[in-house]
Amino acid sequence: MNKKALTLAILFSMATTGAFASDLVTTTVNNSGKLSKLQEQAVLLTQKQLADKAAKDVATFPSALALNEVKTVDLALKNNRTAKQSMWAYEAAKSTVSATAASKNPSVGYSYSATRARGATDASSVTERGTNGFSLSVPVYTPSVDAAIDGARYDRESAGASYEEALQTAKLTAISDYYTLIMYRNLVDVAQQSVRDYDGHVTNVQAQYNVGLVASSDVLAARTNLADAQTTLITRQNSADVAETDLNIVIGYPVSTSIETADKEMRYLPYNVTLEQAKAYALLHRATLVKSAMDVKSAEESVKQAKAGYLPTVSLTAGKNYASDDNYRGTSNNGWSVGANASLDIWDGGSTRNTIKVREAQLESAKEANLAAVDGVLYDVQSAYLNLRAAEQTISSTKVAVEEGQESFRIASLRYRAGVGSNLDVLDAETSLTTARNNYVQALYNYNIYVATLEQAVGVPLETPVGHGAPLIANSDSVNTLANLAAQVTK
């Protein structure tokens, strides 16, 4: 039976039997009957959502999935919920600009009223009156609205940068989980090889013990190491299964989906950029710096908006009116009007002055946040770059250690079989070999993770495959571009 179908059946069973829907739901915060009732409704809603999701999973997702780096990132960008939240925040910010700018548009109004009255002294005297009219108002000078519109535009760009940053984070998380799955599967391979090596040695020791060449302690020691290796294999396999689950969550697939990775092991591709090039590229391309800069500009517009409290507002008006003194229609007589309105607060009790102080303080806070963002980006770049170079250096040394460890284990095994070596020599050689193999896998993993981290830290475009950003950074001439910009600012 399909695992996802089984999951769906269990969910529906729990819903119908009331396993989820208890009569009373309580928390340690508040056990009141009213809150418990609301919580019960929330649990029932969660039940329905889980059942709907399970049904959708059965119909939509395959039981097995083949992934490479590009497909992993594409699925993560498509399904990442945090990125989707940022996307909708960006859409809301775009609509906010239009909503705020609408205050600058002319407004047209229509009004209608009708009355019927009877005289207080003459009951037969009944009068009817109707009026209706159109009005037009055109804003001419509205400094507060102008500042609000500009501020909304900066907020829109800030939200767009946040969306970009969320996508970059989703990309890094996806590729990190992809690499993590490969790493743990490689560690499973190492553990399996260790079990085979120990198992072969146990067979050799047992054979020599059977003919009286070695003591029983050698057999016990060999079997103990074999048991330890088998325990490590189980642990590694469990870690690989958890890594597969984590990757499924990141790409938006059911956790039971089996994943086959196109890459079977980590690879080493040189990353030829300098630290100076990486930092310059980050200062020109990292989305979080765009966001912090836009927040400063938005805060500046908020100050202008507050200062607009000292300025007048001006608008032009026009109207067309109709009235009837003998019926409800209000169309017998008509008139028109044109004019202008101007308003200015002479004294508002200090509200404007204090609002300006608040906004100016918020502006200074935004400037500090911008400087902190710059420091943070430069730290991220330097940290990832130095870690990348350190991992790069360990790749070659750990690879040599593996080769030497294999030879040491081979020699120790041959010496033991020939009766000129000890059991401890073989066990130590195998332990060292397993450690070297694990270190090599870890070094490759670290290097590739830091490559991806560096590319996220500098703001390499989303469409650039992970590990292929070095030519883009090196050839961007960001160092000279940044120097030219700095020269223009200091003039």
Q: Using one digit for the tens of pLDDT, what is the confidence trace for 50-63?
A: 676 666 655 567 88
Q: Are residues 282 and 424 in the same domain?
A: yes
Q: Are residues 160 and 291 in the same domain?
A: yes
Is the residue at 181 inside a domain?
A: yes
pLDDT tens digit sequence for 241-265:
999 999 999 998 998 899 999 999 9
Q: Are residues 158 and 287 in the same domain?
A: yes
DSSP 367-380: HHHHHHHHHHHHHH
Q: Are residues 37 and 165 in the same domain?
A: no
What's the number of CA atoms in the CB half-sphere (13 Å) around residue 381? 24
Q: Are residues 1 and 86 in the same domain?
A: no
Boundary residue ending a domain (43, 60, 77): 60
Q: Are residues 31 and 79 in the same domain?
A: no
Counted residue by residue, the chain has a size of 491
Sheet (strand 126-141) strand order: 107-118, 126-141, 313-324, 333-343
Q: Are residues 252 and 401 in the same domain?
A: yes
Q: Are residues 6 and 74 in the same domain?
A: no
Helix, strand, or coil (residue 128): strand
DSSP 45-70: HHHHHHHHHHHHHHHH--SEEEE-HH
Q: Are residues 205 and 255 in the same domain?
A: yes
Is the residue at 328 inside a domain?
A: no
pLDDT tens digit sequence for 343-384:
998 988 999 999 999 999 999 999 999 999 999 999 999 999
Residue 320 has pLDDT above 80, yes or no: yes
Structure tokens at 222: 């060999």
Report pLDDT for 323.
87
Q: Is the distance from CB of 62 to CB of 12 less than 8 angstroms?
A: no
Query: CA dist 456 to 18, 281, 286, 388, Å?
Result: 47, 11, 8, 13
Query: CA dist 367 to 286, 292, 353, 458, Å?
Result: 17, 8, 21, 21
Q: Is the distance from CB of 464 to CB of 455 less than 8 angstroms?
A: yes
| Better pLDDT: 33 or 380 | 380
Which CATH number do you get for residue 458? Answer: 1.20.1600.10
Q: What are 419-425's contacts with CB under 8 Å, separation 24+?
A: 419/213, 423/205, 423/214, 423/217, 423/218, 423/221, 423/222, 424/221
Is the residue at 223 inside a domain?
A: yes
CA distance linking residue 401 with residue 439, whole number of Å: 9
Is the residue at 324 inside a domain?
A: no
What's the number of CA atoms in the CB half-sphere (13 Å) around residue 273? 34
Please, what is the average pLDDT of the chain?
Answer: 88
What is the domain count for the chain? Answer: 2
pLDDT tens digit sequence for 102-116:
999 999 999 999 888
Domain residues for the domain of 9 are 1-60
Q: Are residues 86 and 4 in the same domain?
A: no
Q: Are residues 52 and 166 in the same domain?
A: no
Residue 264's φ and ψ, nearest 5 degrees, are -95, -20
Q: Are residues 2 and 79 in the same domain?
A: no
Residue 434 has pLDDT above 50, yes or no: yes
